[in-house]
Amino acid sequence: MSYPVKWNLEDILTFSYIKGVNSSLLRKAVENFSDLQELSESGDKIFADKINQYEIFNDIKSSVWASAREEAKRQIDYAVENSCSIVTLWDENYPELLRDIVLPPIILYVKGKLQLKSTVSISMVGTRHCTMYGRLCAEKFAEYFARQGIIVTSGLASGIDTISHLSAIKVDGISYTIVAAGIDKINPQESVRNSQKIVDTGGAIVSEYKFGTMTQIGYFPQRNRIISGISLATIIVECGIKSGALITAKFALDQQREVFAVPGRIDSEKSKGTNLLIKNNAAAPALSPEQVLIDLGLAKPDSMLIEGNKPSLKLNVIEKAIYDLLSNEPLHIDEIASSTDYEINEILVAMLEMEFKEIIRKLPGNYYIRKN
């Protein structure tokens, strides 16, 4: 702990639970008074006016203080009993980039493990109702970042958010999910299961809302500022022109963080938001995860990034014929069969072998793509 002077976690929580106290007032109180006792005895008219509770000053034993302190104790007890932590702005493990934004959350409620300050996070967000193209892009970027030791951060919503989380942990990477509720009030159940997977693989669930807080619509924009604020850059994978992902992009720009958008089809509603960001120079085009890291100064162009220098694949005649047909665009098994001179059973055996080798990937509906 590195609290200013005599403040401790219980006292900070206590004052934060006083009705009318916001993050700005809480920070001012902790950084301008030596402890809660001094604050309560100060008779500070500015504080009293702002929270409209004059009676709490000069009377630290009032029922208002007592109620707030009981709540603080309940929150701390819950954290201890459920292997969670409560992190304040003055703690050593508070995320450094998040500390630098305007009006950072003073208190974070965490389940799981916050990584070292030196660990880079990149946020990935997008539409809940993504296309197959959006899904494949999210998987590709998240898996690559995770393999490079980068935290993949998102908001646990269905679609791009969840795909990004699960793709990162699939390759044993670390993911953070920032939620718009108390971390014990996540819903639906699928999100609960996915958040536990994130924790089980070394990541963390993070919220600025205390345990027991139910989700409200107004909490989502607030949550989005943390998603962008905790990361070096934000990537919008796929979104429409009214998507909440654009709010995250706006926060990132206001926080002077890098924003990238994955270009999409000009006739796709799901790509209108990302394409508009690129058109308006509000986001750089995310053409590949490798290029994003180069643009961020986290990697240098080298031979590994040159397509022609990739090791050649060892394929038999049937496998090569199939591989040459495939690309990043899904192709149905019937189209593959009609485009080759081989029997369907030979094709299926070859494709199964190629799946085992992780050369190709089967998609729902008997569609196939090359696997990068």
As given in the structure block, the two tokens for residue 172 are 């044993």
CATH architecture of the domain with residue range 121-303: 3-Layer(aba) Sandwich (3.40)
Q: Are strands 204-207 and 107-112 parallel, antiparallel or unpaired?
A: antiparallel
Q: State the CB neighbour count (10 A cutoff) for residue 81.
A: 8
Please, are residues 275 and 243 in contact by the beta-carbon 8 Å criterion?
A: no
Give the residue among 175, 200, 208 at the shortest CA–CA distance from 75: 208
Whether the CB-CB separation of 110 and 200 falls below 8 Å is answered with no
Query: Which strands make up the sheet holding 284-285, listed edge to edge?
Result: 84-88, 107-112, 204-207, 175-178, 151-154, 121-125, 233-236, 258-261, 284-285
Whether 317-370 and 121-303 are alike in CATH topology: the answer is no
- Which residues on adjacent β-strands are paired with residue 154? 177
For tokens 């702005």, the residue is 89
Domain boundaries, the chain: 9-81, 121-303, 317-370
Residue 181 buriedness (CB in 10 A; 0-12 / 13-18 / 19+): buried
Instruction: Render each residue's pLDDT in the chain as its tens digit; 372 residues.
Output: 456 668 899 999 998 998 888 898 899 889 888 888 777 776 656 665 666 555 566 555 668 788 999 999 999 999 999 999 999 999 999 999 999 999 999 999 999 999 998 899 999 999 999 999 999 999 999 999 999 999 999 999 999 999 999 999 999 999 999 999 999 999 999 999 999 999 999 999 999 999 999 999 999 999 999 999 999 999 999 999 989 999 999 999 999 999 999 999 999 999 999 999 999 999 999 999 999 999 999 988 764 444 444 546 788 889 989 998 998 888 999 999 999 888 888 898 998 888 888 888 888 888 999 876
DSSP E strands in the chain: the ranges are 84-88, 107-112, 121-125, 151-154, 175-178, 204-207, 233-236, 258-261, 284-285, 331-332, 360-363, 367-370
Q: How far apart are CA 249 and CA 262, in angstroms?
A: 13
The residue assigned the tokens 């990302």 is 274
Residue range 317-370, CATH number: 1.10.10.10
